[in-house]
Amino acid sequence: MDEKRYYEEKEETKQMQLVCPHCRQENAYPVRWMVRTKRTQLPGGANEQDRENFKKARSYMVRIDNLLACRNIKCRKRFDLTGQTVFLI
Ligand SMILES: [Zn+2]
């Protein structure tokens, strides 16, 4: 079974304060995350391995966006998002 089936998936946008590495200006950017919330029960068709994995599974979120465009109109350069891309929730 695909591990994705252990979770309810939902896309969320969070505002993050980020500093552009080119012009050093700080702005709030909308960053998209895929939130995977562990289901209360395994879906049908699970085998022994799935039950084992499901027990260990934790809800988490993964960052979708990796690249942003600077909001400073005099800069407008693209920059990579750094830092953690996966968070347990
Ligand atoms: Zn910039």
Q: Which residue in 62, 43, 63 sits closest to 53, CA to CA?
A: 43
Give the phi and the psi of residue 3 in degrees, each rounded to 5. Answer: -60, -25
What spacing in Å lies between the alpha carbon of 87 and ligand 1's midpoint?
Answer: 27
Residues in the chain: 89
Q: How far is the CA of 27 from the centre of ligand 1 (A)?
A: 9
30 CA from centroid of ligand 1 (Å):
15
- Cα 18 to ligand 1 centroid, rounded to whole Å: 10
What does the DSSP assignment read for 12-33?
A: EEEEEEEE-TTT--EEEEEEEE
Residue 29: predicted pLDDT: 96
The predicted structure's pLDDT at residue 60: 97
Contact between residue 34 and residue 9 where contact means Cβ atoms under 8 Å apart: yes
Going from the Cα of 24 to the center of ligand 1, the distance in angstroms, rounded, reads 6
pLDDT tens for residues 36-85? 999 999 988 899 999 999 999 999 999 999 999 999 999 999 999 988 89
